[in-house]
Amino acid sequence: MWCKKALAAVLVLFSVLGCAAQKTDSKPTISVWHWMTDRDPAFQELAKKYEALTGVKVNFELYAPSDAYSQKIRAAAQGTNLPDVFGILGEKRDFASFIKAGHILDLTSYMEANDSAWKNSFFPKALAVNEFAPQNSYGINPGIYAVPIDIMTIQMVYNKKLFAQLGLNPNHPPKTLQEFLDTGAKIKAAGMQGLVSGWGEVWMIDCLANNFAFNIMGKDKVLATIKGEVPYTDPDWIRVLTIFKEMKESGVLAQGLVTMINKSAEQLFANDKAVYAFNGSWCVNVYKGMNPSLEYSAMLPPAASDKYPIAIWGGAGSSFMVNARSKNKEEAVKFLVWLTGQDQQAYLAAATNNLPANRNSLSKIPEVLAQFARGMDYATHPNVWGVSEFSLVIEAWDRGIQSIIIGEKTPEQVAEEVQKIKERELAKKRAQ
Amino acid sequence: MKNPLYYKSKKILVNTLIHIFLISVAITCLYPLLWMVSSSLKTQDMIFKDISLIPHQFRLENYVLAWKEGGFGRNFFNSIIYTVSVVFGIVIISSMAAYAFSRLRFVGSKFLFVMFMAAMMIPIPGSFVALYVLLNKLHLRNTPIGYILCMINVGLSTSIFLLKTFFDKMPKELEDAARIDGCSKVGIWWHVALPLAKPVLAVVIVFNALAVWNEYILALIIFDDRSFMPLQVALQSFQGEFVTNYPLLMAGLTITALPIILVYLLMQKYIIKGVTAGAVVG
Select the residue of B143, B220, B228 nearest A68 (Cβ to Cβ).
B220
- The verdict on a CB contact (< 8 Å) between A81 and B143 is no
User: Quick check: is B52 in a domain?
Assistant: no
Residue B170 is predicted with a pLDDT of 87
Optimal mutation site among A33, A40, A71, A287, interface B, most CBs of chain B within 10 A:
A71
Residue A279 is predicted with a pLDDT of 95
Q: CATH number of the domain that B191 lies in?
A: 1.10.3720.10
Alpha-carbon gap: B131 to the closest alpha carbon of chain A (Å): 9
- The verdict on a CB contact (< 8 Å) between B136 and A7 is no
State CA A380 to chain mean position distance: 11
- The verdict on a CB contact (< 8 Å) between A21 and B228 is yes
* A chain contacts of residue B88, beta-carbon cutoff 8 Å: 6, 10
* B chain contacts of residue A78, beta-carbon cutoff 8 Å: 129, 132-133
Select the residue of B88, B132, B143 nearest A18 (Cβ to Cβ).
B143
Same domain flag for B181 and B222: yes
Residue B1 is predicted with a pLDDT of 62
User: Quick check: is B94 in a domain?
Assistant: yes
- The verdict on a CB contact (< 8 Å) between A292 and B142 is no
CATH number belonging to domain A29-151+315-376: 3.40.190.10
Same domain flag for B35 and B107: no
Helix H or strand E encompassing B170? none
Same domain flag for B32 and B112: no
- The verdict on a CB contact (< 8 Å) between B48 and A66 is no
* B chain contacts of residue A36, beta-carbon cutoff 8 Å: 240-241
Backbone angles phi, psi at A323, to 5 degrees: -70, 120
- The verdict on a CB contact (< 8 Å) between A65 and B45 is no
Q: Which residues of B215-226 are buried (b: 16+ CB within 10 A; e: fewer)?
A: bbbbbbbbbbeb
Alpha-carbon gap: A216 to the closest alpha carbon of chain B (Å): 32
* A chain contacts of residue B242, beta-carbon cutoff 8 Å: 38, 280, 282-283, 285-286
User: Quick check: is B53 in a domain?
Assistant: no
CATH fold of A153-314+386-431, please? D-Maltodextrin-Binding Protein; domain 2 (3.40.190)
Same domain flag for B127 and B92: yes
The predicted-structure confidence for A366-419, as pLDDT tens digits, reads as follows 888 888 988 888 999 887 887 889 999 999 999 999 999 999 999 999 999 999
CB A272 within 8 A of CB A161: yes
Look at residues A201, A206, A203, A198 and name the one whose alpha carbon lies nearest to residue A241.
A206
From CA B86, how far away is CA B195, in angstroms rounded?
Answer: 20
Average confidence (pLDDT) per 10 residues, chain B, 282 residues: 82 94 93 92 84 85 88 89 96 94 89 85 78 90 94 91 91 88 89 89 90 91 90 82 84 90 81 58 38
CB pairs under 8 A between A and B: 111
Select the residue of A14, A75, A78 nearest B145 (Cβ to Cβ).
A14
User: So what's the ipTM on this one?
Assistant: 0.73
Same domain flag for B16 and B117: no
- The verdict on a CB contact (< 8 Å) between A13 and B81 is yes
Nearest CA in chain B to A20: B143
Select the residue of A21, A23, A291 nearest B45 (Cβ to Cβ).
A291
Torsion angle, alpha carbons of A115, A121, A125, A126, to 10: -120
Q: Is the Cβ of B147 closer than 8 Å to some Cβ of chain A?
A: no
User: Quick check: is B22 in a domain?
Assistant: yes
Q: Pick left, alpha or beta for residue A135 (phi over 0 → left; psi -120 to 50 → alpha; otherwise beta).
A: left
* B chain contacts of residue A13, beta-carbon cutoff 8 Å: 81, 85
User: What ranges do the domains of chain A cover?
Assistant: 29-151+315-376, 153-314+386-431
On the question of a common fold for A29-151+315-376 and A153-314+386-431, the answer reads yes
User: Quick check: is B240 in a domain?
Assistant: yes
From CA A270, how far away is CA A288, in angstroms rounded?
Answer: 8
Same domain flag for B164 and B30: no
- CA separation, residue B9 to residues B12, B19, B21, B23 (Å): 5, 15, 18, 21
Same domain flag for B168 and B211: yes
Alpha-carbon gap: B5 to the closest alpha carbon of chain A (Å): 50
- The verdict on a CB contact (< 8 Å) between B220 and A72 is yes
Same domain flag for B131 and B11: no
Same domain flag for B29 and B114: no
From CA B7, how far away is CA B74, in angstroms rounded?
Answer: 62
By CB neighbour count within 10 A (0-12 exposed, 13-18 middle, 19+ buried), where does A103 fall? buried
Nearest CA in chain A to B129: A75
- Let me know the angle formed at the C-alpha of B138 by B132 and B139, rounded to the nearest 5 degrees: 85
Same domain flag for B71 and B113: yes
Q: Is the Cβ of B144 closer than 8 Å to some Cβ of chain A?
A: yes
Select the residue of B49, B128, B238 nearest A71 (Cβ to Cβ).
B128
Instruction: Tell me which residues of chain A have a pLDDT lower than 50.
Output: 1-3, 14, 16-24
Task: Look at chain B and report how many structural domains it folds into.
Answer: 2
Residues 39-98 of B with CB under 8 A from A: 44-45, 48-49, 81, 85, 88-89, 92
Same domain flag for B136 and B276: yes
- The verdict on a CB contact (< 8 Å) between B141 and A68 is no
The predicted-structure confidence for A18-47, as pLDDT tens digits, reads as follows 444 444 455 679 999 999 988 888 999 999
User: Quick check: is B44 in a domain?
Assistant: no
Same domain flag for B35 and B69: no
What DSSP character marks residue B126? Answer: G
User: Quick check: is B108 in a domain?
Assistant: yes
Helix H or strand E encompassing A98? helix A92-100
Residue A104 is predicted with a pLDDT of 97
- Dmax (CA) of chain B: 79
Nearest CA in chain A to B217: A68
User: Quick check: is B54 in a domain?
Assistant: no
Alpha-carbon gap: B169 to the closest alpha carbon of chain A (Å): 25
Nearest CA in chain A to B144: A17
Cis before residue A65, ω within 30 degrees of 0? Answer: yes
Helix H or strand E encompassing A113? helix A108-120
Domain that holds residue B12: 4-39
Backbone angles phi, psi at A32, to 5 degrees: -120, 125
- The verdict on a CB contact (< 8 Å) between A72 and B145 is no
- The verdict on a CB contact (< 8 Å) between B148 and A23 is no
CB A277 within 8 A of CB A156: yes
Alpha-carbon gap: A421 to the closest alpha carbon of chain B (Å): 33
